[in-house]
Chains A and B, each alone.
Chain A
């Protein structure tokens, strides 16, 4: 049972355009959401997070949107850069539990 789903295995975007990565979840106990970026043969690095009391969080070129009623979150990267090419994982956790559940990941390729 996949509680966190990233239904797009890959996304290709032109440099300078917007990248939108999507994530859906099924567990209503999740109330904290994170995005990680991962390069091949390396560990994931934290990118941005959002708690369920918010619907938007921005950090530079990265913005995460949360739609609790739809159990959906998205990561927007504007403008996209070739260095953003990586695998992006969304993750979720109930705050008081502390165990991250990850999605399958989306491979983002930004073309120059």
Chain B
């Protein structure tokens, strides 16, 4: 079955440690996105990539980094520079960067808790 997979579902890390969240899709989608969900703030875009080896900052990129070495994979690293990393992280993909053509498909999310 085609889909978008995030792992792990729950992640705990100590303050000051970097952590990498995985996102893999087998939908042959060109574009991939990372969003963060906080209560009362909806989904905010962290980074997005419309093509392999290229990515752009979203609205809240500070303290995060990404890579897009393969079409299928778009890992997100939450660095120690991120002031408030505890959140629910969502990865999404779409066929092209033109979401007007089709909707974005989301993964199940990763709940990151920093203690």
Q: Which residues of A contact B (CB under 8 A)?
A: 4, 6, 9, 31-32, 34, 36, 41-46, 49, 51, 89, 91, 93, 95-105
Contacts and interface: CB of A to CB of B under 8 A. Distances in A.
Interface of B: 4, 6, 9, 31, 33, 35, 40-45, 48, 50, 58, 88, 90-92, 94, 96-101, 103-109, 111
30 contacts: A32-B100, A34-B99, A36-B106, A41-B9, A41-B88, A41-B108, A41-B109, A42-B108, A43-B90, A43-B107, A44-B106, A46-B103, A46-B105, A49-B103, A89-B43, A95-B98, A98-B94, A98-B96, A98-B98, A98-B99, A98-B100, A99-B33, A99-B45, A100-B45, A100-B92, A102-B35, A102-B42, A102-B43, A104-B41, A105-B42
Nearest to B50: A98
A45 to B, nearest CB: 7
A95 to B, nearest CB: 3
A100 B104 contact: yes
Given A102-B42, A104-B41, A43 B99 contact: no
A104 B43 CA distance: 7
Contacts of A102: 35, 42-44
Nearest to B90: A43
A22 B30 CA distance: 31
A102 B106 CA distance: 14
A99 B97 CA distance: 7
Contacts of A34: 99, 103
Contacts of B90: 43-44
Contact of B109 (A43, A89, A96, A105): A43
Contacts of A98: 31, 50, 94, 96-100
Contacts of A51: 100
